[in-house]
Every structure is written in structure tokens, then in C-alpha cells.
Chains A and B, each alone.
Chain A
Amino acid sequence: MSAVHDLAIIGAGPAGMAAAVMAAELRLSTVVLDEQPEPGGQIYRGIERLAATRSRHLELLGPDYALGLELTRAFRASSIEYLSGTQVWQVEPAGRIFYRRNDVAGILQAKKILIAPGAMERPMPVPGWTLPGVLTCGAGQTVLKANGLAPKGRFVLAGCGPLLLLLAAQLTRCGIKPTAILQTTFNRWAAAPHLLGFLGAPGYLIKGLGLLRELKAAGIPIHNVSRFAIKGDTQARAVEFVCNGAARTIEVDTVFLHQGVVPNSNLAWSLNLDHRWDDVQRCYHPKLDAWGRASNAAVLVAGDAGGIVGAKGAEFMGLIAAAAAAVDLGKVGAEQAEERTRDAKTALNKQRAARPFLDHLYRPEQRWIAPPEPDTIVCRCEEVRAGEIRRLVTEQNCPGPNQLKSFVRCGMGPCQGRLCGLTAVEMIAESRGVPVSEVGYYRIRPPIKPVTIGDLATLDVPERSDAVHM
């Protein structure tokens, strides 16, 4: 094992990149571990390659995406160690990190760990969501950005949230028009009291209205739907929905689902960080102080993993958390850190003030969170259905998500509960008639990414003095 790093950053999205730049400026020896082959995270996915080889597409994706170029350049220019294509499977609370890179396992040690794994899309368990041809809007955007790929044939986007409208607009600009947008949630009255904060964040309203105008001008219908199901045999063939009380069917080849984003939380849970339930965003957040320090003294969290703040907000959080790490390591005084982060904190507060409007506007109703149809799959890996979970809670007194694992392996497949965790805890809470915070979450244990015995065998671990030889 090489020297101990001052700071290890996990994730190279806006939060991780901004943190790395700040850490380098504050002279922390810093290593960044990221799962993706290139920096940018999901939001700026593939941006370097795209700017170099497909500049025409950069225009179509819009100015917010292009913003990532500047940050990516600063990241590349900073004096940090960057490990791309690196899957972290375990972080020990004392700062030892186990990872896999190029089929070889490695360990490194850091005094402070800043986790910035970003967001993932909230699971949207609807009938037929496991069929081939059904992807998330994030997936649609990823292949558009990273690969210049667009769906062939007829497709719809279903669910709600800014990303759904953005993807629809981006594809439309590329000449690939969706057949329809099926909007599940648009709580304008619940959102209205939070409009002021939203207006305080630069450009948000103009962007939102701009997208809606663009879609309208392109003649793409937006239907508000109260029911939604995907039909198909071996792949998606049609969507059925209820709009204004009338049942309708549209034939499709591809469906993009989106129900907002939530923290990508398995790493934080695996570290046993304290969490709190956010009843508006309907997800757990790690408990953090104003600088991003988590309940474990060695750990900081930045970006959407600490609660959804968006790309700009994530950048500010990263910068602030890196400064906090420098303070804790005695590399910089508290006053100097205060000084260097003042503008970022002001800007972060503006970004944060915009969230309640969006959170309320697109807060999914219960039927999109806890599927009422008994046959709908909740745990995609182990194929556990909604009816079975309800039955286990009401008839077998299954009290929580960890007991659910014992009953039916819910959350125990390859994705380790990432795609069913929030659905499972919401359904258990609903069936028991208690708040979600009382139900808790899956106990997430390392390895949080699959690791083979072969990988483990490549580990260069110093032998323990108490090892027993047989």
C-alpha cells in the first residue's frame, strides 16, 4: 500500500471534480476514484469526447451540458491522482478503500473520504417496467450524450420531472420526436407557495418554460395521466394510460421512464452514516453539517448523494466539503476556509432555495411510489411483486425491509436493493400505517459492488500478525 492520502474523493461528477480542484489548491494530497471511464459524472457524461469529436451534438444538448467542459478542464489541470474506471466495493470507516480497476483489486488509505456518488433515478415500478425496450430517461440521455445514440421507431416518455422534459427536447432538436409525453405528476398548487425561492435561482424558470414552449412548438402532446402500464410479450409494444378519465393505448417500440432523482445511497449506507427521511423528496438523506461533514468523523458527502441539489449545487457542495476536509486536517485555518467558500455558500443557498418548488411540483403520488397492482414487480433482480410484499407485511407481520430479505430475498440480487429499496420501505410503511422513518432501510453491507474471488486474490494485503496458518 502506498502513502496515506490526505483526501480520497469517490465520484468524478460536478461535486467530485469541484472538490478535487479545491483540494489541490489547498495542497491536500488527493486521489479521485470514479466508476466511469471519463470525468463528468452522469450530468456531464462523455463531455470531453463529445466536444472533441461531435461538436455539432454539443449544441443540440444545450448550454447547461456544455458548462461541464470548463469544470472538466480545471479537474484535468489540477494536481490530483485520478483513477477512472474504478469500482469501489468497500470503504472502511477508518479510511481504507478497496477497489477494482482493470481487473485488479487495490487498497488505498486516506485520512478523509469525500463521497460524491451522485444521484440515480427513483425507481418507477409500473406494470411492464422490466420489459426490454423500457429504459430510464437518464439512460436515454446517457446514450445520447456518450454515444450519439437515439431511439428508433415510436417512443414515449412517462413520469415526471425536469430531466424528462429535457430529454424530450434534446431528442426533438436531434430530429427524433417522441410520440407523446405522459406526465404522471404536476402539482402546481402544492408548488406555488415555493415559487419565490425558485425565482431566486438564476435561469430556472426561463429554462423550464423554454423547454415546455419548445415541445409545444414541435407538436409533442403532453398528456396528464392517472394510470399507466406498459404492455408487451418479450419487449415493450404499447403503453396504456388513462387521461381525463378516458383509457387510451399508444403503440411504441421504446419507453423512457422518469420519476425524479434520489441520492445514490449504497455507499453512504454501507458506512452506517446517520440518515433522515425527507418526506417531500421521498428519499433518505445522510445527515450533514453545513460543510458536508457526515456522522462519521472521517467522511464528508457532497453533491446529490447528500440530497438533491442539481449540477451547479453539487459543484458548490464539493468545493465547500473539500475546504472543510482541509480545515479538519489542519491544512488551512477556519477563517481562511470561510473566506474561500463564502461565494460558493451564497450560490449554493440560491440553488437550494429553488428545490422546494421542484420537489413539490413533481412529488410523486402514492400510486407511483407503491404500485397498487399486485403483479407489478418491485424487486427487479429477485422478481418480487407488490402483492407479495403487502401480503408479507399484513399477514406475516414482516416489520421492515431487512426481514423482507429473509422472507423473499427482496433487495438481495445483483443491484443490492438500489432499484427496490425506496419502493420496499414505502410499501411496508403504507401497509403498517407508520411513517417511513420508522421502517428504516436495508442494511447495506460491503461489497457494494460485485467482486470475484479472483479479484480478491490479486489484493496485496499486509499479513496480519494474528493470522492462523493451516
Chain B
Amino acid sequence: MFALLPDNPSERITVHVDGNTVGVPPGFTAAAAMLLHGASSTRTTPVTGEPRAPYCMMGVCFECLMQIDGEPNQQGCLVTVVEGMRIERQLGKCKVDE
């Protein structure tokens, strides 16, 4: 859906987006990593299962809720990536592990 502009620095941080190992520039948020490398829909709603994706990218809409390093319901647009971060789509309601 999105692509990097030319003249971006070449430094990359390795993260795992839905299991795919990819590189993103430093300073990226998890939601930005999804826009660059993820599927068009990054979650399905707990109410009806509609597909959704990042919308405001500034922390107000909560559409970019995703699973980060196994932790569900994270606002992906407020989390800066670090080396080895696992970023995953969040499908439907979250469950507590038994």
C-alpha cells in the first residue's frame, strides 16, 4: 500500500511482520512497518470481524491495534520498532491464554 521514497537512508532494522522477516528504517513505528510490508488489513474487528487498517497514525483512532512481541491490543502507531520485533495482525477478539 505504501512505498519508501527515494533518498531514504539505507540503514535497516530487522523486524518480523506476520512472520516475514523484513527491514525498515530506524524510527519506524510498528504501524508504519505494517503499511510498508504488511497485508492491506491489519486487524479484524471484535464486533463483526470487518477488516480494518491503520487510519490516523497519531494515536487517536485505535484502528492500528496489533500484536507486538506477543502482546495484543498495542497501538502500533505509538510503538517504535526495535531489532527483532514481532509485529502481527490481530484477528477478532483477543483471548487470555489458559
A residues at B contact (CB < 8 Å): 35-38, 42, 46, 49, 53-54, 56-57, 85, 87, 120-121, 130-136, 138-139, 142-144, 146-153, 174, 176, 234-235, 253-254, 264, 380-383, 413-415, 418-419, 450
Contacts and interface: CB of A to CB of B under 8 A. Distances in A.
27 contacts: A36-B59, A37-B80, A46-B27, A54-B7, A56-B7, A57-B5, A120-B58, A131-B51, A132-B40, A134-B55, A135-B57, A136-B55, A143-B2, A143-B32, A143-B35, A147-B4, A147-B25, A148-B5, A148-B8, A150-B4, A151-B1, A234-B41, A264-B60, A380-B61, A381-B47, A413-B62, A419-B61
Interface in B46-98: 47-48, 50-63, 65, 73, 78, 80
Nearest to A150: B5
Contacts of B47: 381-383
A46 B58 CA distance: 12
B45 interface: yes
B62 A150 contact: no
Interface in B23-42: 25-29, 32, 35-36, 40-42
Contacts of A136: 55-57
Contact of B5 (A42, A87, A149, A383): A149
Contact of A132 (B26, B27, B51, B58): B51
Contact of B52 (A42, A54, A132, A143): A132
B58 A147 contact: no
A120 B57 CA distance: 11
A134 B54 CA distance: 8
Contacts of B19: none
B35 to A, nearest CB: 6
Nearest to A56: B7
Task: State the 6 A-B residue pairs at the shortest beta-carbon distance, nearest first.
Answer: A132-B53, A139-B57, A414-B62, A132-B41, A415-B62, A56-B7
The interface centre, meaning the residue of B36, B42, B51, B58 with most chain A CB atoms within 10 A of its CB, is B58
Contacts of A53: 9
A54 B41 CA distance: 29
A153 B27 CA distance: 25
A282 B55 CA distance: 22
Nearest to A38: B27
A151 B54 CA distance: 13
Nearest to A60: B5
A418 B5 contact: no
A245 B58 CA distance: 36
Contacts of B25: 147-148
Contacts of A147: 4, 25, 27-29, 32, 36
Most buried by B among A149, A152, A418: A149
A149 B2 contact: yes
Interface residues of B, number: 40
A142 B31 CA distance: 12
A131 B4 CA distance: 23
Given A132-B42, A151-B1, A382-B47, A415 B61 contact: yes
Given A56-B7, A132-B52, A382-B47, A35 B59 contact: yes
A381 B60 CA distance: 12
Contacts of B54: 135, 139
Contacts of A253: 1
Nearest to A87: B78
Interface string B4-18: 110111000000000
Given A57-B5, A174-B5, A383-B48, A139 B58 contact: yes
Contacts of A87: 78
B91 to A, nearest CB: 13
A381 B41 contact: no
A383 B51 CA distance: 12
Contacts of A413: 62
A149 B52 contact: no
A310 B74 CA distance: 30
Nearest to A264: B60
Contacts of B7: 54, 56-57, 148
A130 B52 contact: yes
Contacts of B56: 120-121, 135-136, 138-139, 419
A37 B41 CA distance: 25
B57 to A, nearest CB: 4
Nearest to A176: B5
A91 B28 CA distance: 29
A415 B45 CA distance: 13
Contacts of A131: 51
Contacts of B53: 132-135, 235
B34 to A, nearest CB: 10
Contacts of B28: 147
Contact of A151 (B2, B45, B59): B2
A382 B63 CA distance: 12
A381 to B, nearest CB: 7
A87 B51 CA distance: 27
